[in-house]
Amino acid sequence: MHIAVDIVCSLMLLFCGLGVYTLIFWLLINKEMTLGKALQLCTAALVLNKFLFTGIGYAAVSGKLKSDEFPLHKSISAFVLSEMFVITPWVVSGLYFGARVGLKIPLIFIIFLLLALVFLLYKRKKAQRFLQEAAAYVRETSVHLGCVLPLAVINILISITYYYFLFDAFRVSMSFAEVFKIVSVSFTVGYLSPLPSGLAFREGSMIFLLMQQGLAFNKALSIALTDRLAVTVFFIVIGFLCAAQIIIPALTKSKKG
């Protein structure tokens, strides 16, 4: 019963996280579409980002909107701004906490962090193309920023709570602060890694950090793999329920390319 409650709570929190992200995007798109349409687009973008690379989902969905005569600069700017509001706190915290535990990290993990920093610079250079339009668009959406900022904080709290229940399912008791440190570092390493959705990089960093808390390797590995499986299955199911007509053509096009 204890594990079942944790699983149900974790799934509900994944739904809540997607809902909050959708609200952020909807506000940043100046409510120029229905909330249901925004949910469909955000789901498609997030699924494609996770199974391909970060940014591909945003480009595919923006291209679909452009074909529907929705201005490209608006959709791309809204997605970029959403990414900034949602991701920046995790990356900043991850780099901060990662640096603090740097002396305890073995050489191979330091190499992973260095690679992550290289890809951070690469992504930053790619993002510079959108900065001018994003700066102009943020002035248009500034009326909604008072709502977006609290939603970004809520999104972080939802993620921390999700991992709290995940750890609890394995009888691992940690404070919210400890969970935040572990998740922020592993998320940052995964986000800045060269592989889709931080595959292996994210799991490796989480396993290492959990072992630093005294967990056995087998338990730490089980937690990391369960997290990957749960999130992957969740987005596969919700993606094809909400946005199959966007996801399938984009995946097919990617394979042909």
Query: Which pLDDT tens digit goes with each residue over 117-148?
Result: 555 555 555 555 555 665 666 677 777 778 88
The band of 102, judged by pLDDT with boundaries at 50, 70 and 90, is very low
Confidence (pLDDT) at 189: 84
Per the CB < 8 A criterion, the answer to whether 115 and 194 are in contact is yes
Q: Mean pLDDT, to the nearest integer, of 110-115?
A: 52
pLDDT at 236 over 60: yes
Nearest-angstrom CA–CA distance, 125 and 139: 23
Q: Could you give the angle at the alpha carbon of 115 between the alpha carbons of 163 and 228, nearest 5°?
A: 25
Indicate the range of 11-25, 99-113, 130-144, 189-203 predicted with least confidence. Answer: 99-113
pLDDT at 54 over 90: no
Closest CA to 45 of 59, 31, 35: 59
The band of 188, judged by pLDDT with boundaries at 50, 70 and 90, is confident
Indicate the range of 156-170, 179-193, 224-238 predicted with least confidence. Answer: 179-193
Closest CA to 242 of 35, 68, 37, 25: 37
Nearest-angstrom CA–CA distance, 44 and 201: 24
Nearest-angstrom CA–CA distance, 46 and 135: 23
Domain coordinates in residue numbering, the chain = 2-256
Confidence (pLDDT) at 106: 46
Cut 0.75: pTM above it: yes
pLDDT at 110 over 60: no
Cα 232 vs. chain centroid, distance in angstroms?
A: 12
